[in-house]
Amino acid sequence: MSTDFNEYFAHYIGLVNELEVLEAITANHQEFLKLLAGLNDEQALYRYADDKWSIKEMIAHIIDSERVFTYRALRFARNDATDLAGYDENAFALHSGADERSLADLLHEFDVTRLSSLALFKSFTSEMLSCRGTANNISIDVKSLGFLIAGHCKHHMNVMQERYL
């Protein structure tokens, strides 16, 4: 498990207890797809409160965040010292168009995004995994970003199980 991350990420990273980053990225891939496999498009529009995301929007958020995290990991692994900007997750969700898409399409996109993330992290050497950079004014290493990908997904899986499903 990685320990080289800012306290801001502790909640997410603490949700995965795999010893290796590749195990963490792989662990909840199929579990996530199974969790939502029985839903139909109408059910996936459910919001537990008016101001909360629908299940479809949450899936899009997980996909968007994973892409942002892997982009950061790639930049840091390549020793790019540029401070990267943050992103507005609520603006992303608002403009995702997720509720107009089919659940099957969103789950397929999650699947290929996770496979892409896994391929990227498999390409990193141990030296690359220890590279670090700054995004949204927070310093983090590449390995921790891998755990963050898995932990962020796990967090939202927990929210879905507790409040949506």
Domains of the chain: 7-164 (1.20.120.450)
131-145 pLDDT tens trace = 999 999 999 999 999
76-115 pLDDT tens trace = 999 999 999 999 999 999 999 999 999 999 999 999 999 9
Alpha-carbon gap, residue 23 to 48, rounded angstroms: 32
Tell me, yes or no, if the pTM score tops 0.85.
Answer: yes
* Residues sharing a CB contact under 8 Å with residue 37, sequence separation 6 or more, in sequence order: 107
